[in-house]
Amino acid sequence: MHNPRTRRLSGAWSLGALTLLSLAVLAGCGESAPADDANSATQQELTTAPEEGMMPTTRTSALKKIFHAVPSPIETALLLEASGVNFSTDDLNDAGKASGYQTTGLQAVNLGIYAGDLSYATIFNRNQEAIQYLNVARRLADELGVGDLIDGALIERAEDNREVRDSLIHIVTSTFYALNARLKENGMEDVSGLIAAGGWIEGVYLGTRNLDGATEELKTRIAEQKLTLDNLRSLLASYPSTEDLAGMIAELDAVETAFAGVEIVEHAANTSTTDDGLVVISGGPEISVSDETLAAIAEAVAGVRNHYAN
């Protein structure tokens, strides 16, 4: 697979002297952002200089910024747990394989896959596995140049809080949020997208490992992923194309074909308000799926997952 980091770094030396000069000028332009890591996220004083996050603009024409979001691996794991899935270590990607992923594309997708495993272990209170997969994530994040976001202090904090599920959930979500932010800030949106794809694939893979004993709720949750697959494909298509992104989109074609068997009848959403003032949104799509379609989804997702993980 292509290594985009090499591409991005090419030509950097030729601008080195000018960059140094410019950095010297920029140093006086505002407060430098502190190193962003999940470890400091909860410890840092929640104050900020008023000028942070703003500056005079030179842009004059308005634009429309479009975002696409997918469920985080923790959110998917929470849904799986609530749907009656049983935890099985055998379903997780072998942590020992991490050192074998040598390209940026494989490292990014498998970081997402391991994020799925880490989230799954965290939600099911499998603390030993959770710490193990956090260490694996650290290794791959390091390979991707953002290893400082999962440093020794973070691992130590996770170890100290291994019995407190909410703390581990916070550590996992804030770590991957910081990782996404850093990758986008560094112009590595494609890597961020591949990680999101890996996480999505692993979530559906883990949810479809034992369909024989699946509850109706789990079947519905799997079928609903047709909607999130749309979100994922839009997310991947929103970034400048790379060989790895194009490869992932092509791999997902088979999954989309399998999900085509999920029937969705659209209805308008409507709202109501509970006695305590909370808005409840109901209506929306009516989703149905056959066991045959679920089996096809399970097979297609396993095919993509194993293409990257094995």
Pick out residues in 128-187 that bind other proteins (CB under 8 A). 169-170, 173-174, 176-182, 184-185
Query: Could you report how far apart the first and last alpha carbons of the chain are, in Å?
Result: 15
Phi, psi at residue 264, to the nearest 5°? Answer: -125, 120
Residue type, 212: D
**Residue 174 near residue 38, CB atoms below 8 Å:** yes
Please state, in angstroms and as integers, the Cα–Cα distance from residue 170 to each residue in 35, 53, 69, following that order.
Answer: 19, 24, 19
The one among 4, 70, 114, 201 contacting other proteins by CB under 8 A: 70
Return the number of the residue (143 or 189) whose C-beta is nearest other proteins.
Answer: 189
Return the number of the residue (103 or 125) whose C-beta is nearest other proteins.
Answer: 125
Burial label for 53, CB within 10 Å (0-12, 13-18, 19+), is: exposed
Closest distance to other proteins from the beta carbon of 177 (Å): 4
Closest distance to other proteins from the beta carbon of 290 (Å): 18
Q: Which stretch binds other proteins (CB under 8 A): 59-67, 143-151, 244-252, 295-303?
A: 59-67
Strands 263-265 and 269-273: unpaired
Residues 21-40 that bind other proteins (CB under 8 A): 21-23, 25-26, 29-34, 36
Residues 6+ apart with CB under 8 A from 154: 37, 38, 39, 134, 171, 175
Return the number of the residue (1 or 249) whose C-beta is nearest other proteins.
Answer: 249
The one among 11, 13, 43, 62 contacting other proteins by CB under 8 A: 62
If one counts every other C-beta atom within 10 angstroms of the C-beta of residue 273, the result is 9
> Binding mask 261-280 vs other proteins (x if CB under 8 A, - otherwise)?
-----x-xx-x--x---xxx
Residues 232-251 that bind other proteins (CB under 8 A): 234
Return the number of the residue (34 or 96) whose C-beta is nearest other proteins.
Answer: 34
DSSP 46: S
Q: Does 10 bind other proteins (CB under 8 A)?
A: no
